[in-house]
């Protein structure tokens, strides 16, 4: 019998490997399964030559009715990087509201994460909020509920915002925070998104900011900070500094500050001191300071 300690260790190992779904009640011993027999190819092999009656020259058998290649349905396959980027720019720029942008994202086929995720995670909070907070990518809890920052990191984020009088559920724009993520779909196993995945979703994020037109942007974590500010420094060097973010669809630049991601703070509690300093700087900015 496997003891409790061994069972817990095995479960932790599986979680570290990215296994977070159970698809059967009984384990499958894949090594004991016999290989499947190969199926016959859909394209027929050349037909055998049949001897003609009376000793005449052999004639080929009638050709089977195989449709020509041009008539067969083609598998479109995934979009290439260039195609995905162009498709995203066209779809994002056409959106004139957040609802239209969400519909455009739901129809977008240029990011492979869509095929492995359970839900599209768009955003939540008052659309008149002065502050727009952008995280990195949804986690397991976010993927299940279709909402950003609803797991342990989200609970910590709510406490952090509440410490300076802010609330994602507030209707008052002065106290409200609108929350979203750089990527709307969860990477398998909570891995970091690739550069191509970030690039494919970037036009939608840029348009998201333009439609919100907030007074202040907060980039939670290094992925969103480096991508949106086009910087190469890590989050520990970027955090707490104010930058000007601008794009073609914004009437004026927006004050932006990177902060440590709440998930990082859960793993590194000592860093909460720096996070508190950043929250105080945000509070000063909201109150009209610099």
- pLDDT tens digits for range 193-237: 999 999 999 999 999 999 999 999 999 999 999 999 999 999 999
Strand partners of residue 49: 60
The H or E element that residue 39 is part of is none
Provide the pLDDT for residue 31: 57
CA distance 151 to 149: 6
pLDDT tens, residue by residue, 176-195: 999 999 999 999 999 999 99
pTM of the model: 0.73
Q: What is the mean predicted confidence (pLDDT) over 96-112?
A: 96
Structure tokens belonging to residue 284: 């000063």
What residues contact 52, with CB distance under 8 A and at least 6 apart? 58, 59
Helix (H) or strand (E) holding 181: strand 177-181
Out of 8-22, 223-237, 243-257, 276-290, pick the least confident: 8-22
Q: Which long-range contacts (CB under 8 A, 24 or more apart) does 284-290 make?
A: 285/216, 285/242, 285/255, 285/257, 286/130, 286/131, 286/164, 286/174, 286/216
Q: Is the pLDDT of residue 15 over 60?
A: yes
Segment 169-173 shows an average pLDDT of 96
Strand partners, 132: 178, 217
What is the average per-residue pLDDT within 52-65?
50
* 53-57, 70-74, 170-174, range with the lowest pLDDT: 70-74
In terms of DSSP bridges, do strands 59-60 and 254-259 run parallel, antiparallel, or are they unpaired? unpaired
Residue labelled with tokens 């440590």: 260
Q: pLDDT averaged over the chain? A: 84
How far is residue 119's CA from residue 58's CA, in Å, rounded to a whole number? 62
Residues of the chain above pLDDT 90, percent: 69
Q: What is the 3-state secondary structure (H, E, C) of 117-145?
A: CCCCCCEECCCCCCEEEEECCCCHHHHHH
Q: What is the pLDDT of residue 9?
A: 64
Q: Which domains does the chain have, with CATH numbers?
A: 81-286 (3.40.470.10)
32/142 Cα distance (integer angstroms): 37
């Amino acid at each position: 019998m496997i003891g409790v300690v061994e069972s817990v260790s095995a479960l932790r190992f599986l979680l570290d490997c990215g296994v977070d779904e159970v698809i059967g009640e009984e384990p499958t011993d894949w090594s004991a399964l016999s290989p499947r027999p190969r199926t016959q190819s859909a394209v027929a092999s050349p037909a055998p030559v049949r001897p003609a009656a009376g000793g005449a020259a052999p004639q080929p058998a009638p050709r089977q009715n195989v449709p020509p290649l041009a008539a067969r349905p083609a598998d479109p396959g995934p979009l290439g990087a260039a195609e995905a980027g162009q498709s995203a720019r066209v779809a994002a720029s056409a959106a004139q509201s957040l609802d239209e942008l969400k519909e455009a994202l739901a129809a977008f086929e240029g990011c492979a994460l869509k095929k492995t995720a359970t839900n599209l995670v768009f955003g939540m909070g008052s659309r008149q909020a002065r502050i727009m907070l952008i995280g990195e990518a949804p986690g397991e809890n976010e993927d299940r509920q279709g909402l950003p920052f609803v797991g342990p990191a989200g609970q910590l984020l709510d406490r952090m915002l509440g410490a300076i009088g802010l609330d994602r559920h507030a209707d008052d724009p002065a106290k409200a925070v609108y929350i979203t993520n750089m990527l709307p779909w969860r990477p398998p196993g909570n891995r970091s998104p690739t550069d191509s995945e970030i690039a494919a979703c970037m036009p939608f994020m840029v348009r998201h900011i333009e439609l919100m037109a907030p007074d202040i942007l907060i980039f939670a974590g290094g992925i969103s900070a480096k991508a949106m500010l086009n910087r190469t420094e890590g989050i520990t060097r970027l955090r707490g500094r104010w930058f000007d973010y601008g794009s073609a669809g914004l009437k004026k630049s927006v004050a932006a500050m990177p902060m440590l991601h709440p998930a990082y703070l859960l793993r590194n509690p000592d860093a909460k001191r720096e996070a508190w300093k950043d929250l105080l700087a945000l509070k000063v900015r909201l109150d009209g300071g610099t």
